Amino acid sequence: MSTFEETVGGIVNELLTDHESEKVGENIKIFNHPDKEIIIDIIFSLRKIIFPGYFRNRDIKVYTMKSNLSMLLEDVIFKLTKQITIVLDNDDEDNSDILDRARQISLEFVKRLRTIREYILTDVHAAFDGDPAAYSEDEIIYSYPGLFAILVNRIAHELFLLNVPIIPRMMTEYAHSVTGIDIHPGATIGKYFFIDHGTGIVIGETTVIGNNVKMYQGVTLGALSTRGGQALRSKKRHPTIEDNVTIYSGASILGGDTIIGKDAVIGGNAFITRSIKEGAKVSVKNQELRYNYDAAHPVERMEIEDDDTAWFYMI
């Protein structure tokens, strides 16, 4: 009978043989990969920079706004440059050239922080104006998962536009894991975007969203089909949502040619694969409720009247 050590050694040898023979395992990177914990730390440092009055850097004993922002910004540039250097690493380019390129990308990114902040502040205003359950903008900034998911997406989107691989998706997937809201970093989102509740929302890579769009939980902005696999890369697969659109819970809007016109309202659980004109109100027809009672009471069936749209706005 083989010893425990021999058994483990045999399994290790088999796994290594598999790695050597499979294409996926040709480049085994044990240490040379982006660090998830550092990426998450960068997200929260950037949140402190974007909302400096809300999230204090407790590492600074003598606190001023300027010292706080200076230290945070330097820390973000240093960490982001290192992580970008890792994901840009290749055998055909000198290490010093990669480092210089990563540093330039990091500096270009931090120059865009004012724009990111400008956009996310409009999102805060949209959440407060659009949610009667919100008692203050402070409450939204500290606690709303929709705002956090949007914030991370706006950060990741700028890195995506700078052609940084892997890191933008790591950021948005972290937000997905903690909020249940899945927004691809490639999605283009305008100002005053409000996600209410949010759990189960999916927004695909080539989605374009205009200004003043409001969206509830369970909404999918997706592709009609992904059977083409990598052949579909860079093609418009996801819908365009124009300004002032409201999309209620459970709606699915699919397809790269699908355009939801300005001021449209999409009712709960609608399934849409073609364009909707401006100002349209789309709802599912013939909603029906059935009530079953015990044997002592008759079975009752109720149909919603044609002019009863209370169900339409379910959130």
**Tens-digit pLDDT profile for residues 271-283:** 999 999 999 999 9
CA distance 58 to 48: 11
For position 186, what pLDDT does the model report? Answer: 97
CA 210-221-245 angle, 5° bins = 35
Number of H helices, E strands in the chain: 8, 16
In this structure, the chain runs to a length of 315
- Token pair 């001021």 is at which residue? 263
pLDDT band with cut points at 50, 70 and 90 for residue 93: confident
Task: Answer whether residue 61 shows pLDDT above 60.
Answer: no
Q: Which of 23-37, 107-121, 226-240 has the highest mean pLDDT?
A: 107-121
List, in sequence order, every residue forming a beta bridge with 302; answer none if it has no partner: 289
Q: What angle do CA 17, 18, 24 make, to 5 degrees?
A: 130
What residues form DSSP beta bridges with 194?
A: 214
For 308, residues 6+ apart whose C-beta sits below 8 A from its C-beta are none
Q: Predicted confidence band at 4 (pLDDT cuts at 50, 70, 90)? A: confident
Q: Is the pLDDT of residue 32 over 80?
A: no
**pLDDT band, residue 230 (cuts 50/70/90):** confident
Q: What is the band of 11 on the pLDDT scale with cuts at 50, 70, 90?
A: confident
Residue 218 has pLDDT above 80, yes or no: yes
What single-letter DSSP state applies at residue 27? S
Q: Pick the closest to residue 216 from 244, 181, 189 (CA basis).
A: 181
Q: Is the pLDDT of residue 285 over 60?
A: yes
pLDDT range class, residue 5, cuts 50, 70, 90:
confident
Which bin fits 218, alpha (ψ -120 to 50), beta or left (φ > 0)?
left
39-60 in b/e form (b: 16+ CB < 10 A) is bbebbebbbbbbbbeebebeee
The residue-averaged pLDDT of 94-98 equals 87
The reported pLDDT for the residue numbered 63 is 60
Question: What H or E segment, with its residue span, contains residue 168?
Answer: helix 167-179
> For residues 310 and 244, which has the higher predicted lDDT (pLDDT)?
244
φ, ψ at 311 (rounded to 5°): -65, -25
Question: Strand 300-303 vs strand 288-291: parallel, antiparallel, or unpaired?
Answer: antiparallel
Do residues 222 and 204 lie in contact, with contact meaning Cβ atoms separated by under 8 Å? yes
CB 63, CB 56: distance < 8 Å: yes
Task: In whole angstroms, give the CA distance from residue 41 to residue 44.
Answer: 5
- The answer to whether 193 and 147 have CB atoms below 8 angstroms apart is no
pLDDT of residue 243: 98
Task: Please tell me the predicted confidence (pLDDT) of residue 175.
Answer: 98
pLDDT-derived band at 155, boundaries 50, 70, 90: very high
Return the half-sphere exposure (C-beta side, CA atoms, 13 A cut-off) of residue 123.
29
pLDDT band, residue 180 (cuts 50/70/90): very high
| Beta strands 288-291 and 240-241, pairing class | unpaired
Given a cut of 90, is residue 291 above it in pLDDT? no
Chain centroid, CA 34 distance in Å: 19
CB 293, CB 309: distance < 8 Å: no
What number is the average pLDDT over the span 101-105? 96
CB of 277 closer than 8 Å to CB of 292: no
**For the segment 254-269, what is each residue's pLDDT rounded down to a tens digit?**
999 999 999 999 999 9
The per-residue pLDDT of the chain, averaged, comes to 87
Question: What's phi and psi for 240, nearest 5 deg?
Answer: -110, 130
Asked if residue 185 lies in contact with residue 162, where contact means CB atoms within 8 angstroms, the answer is no
Give mean pLDDT, residues 194-201: 96
Q: φ, ψ for residue 154 (rounded to 5)?
A: -65, -35
Mean local confidence (pLDDT), 35-63: 83
pLDDT at 45 over 90: yes
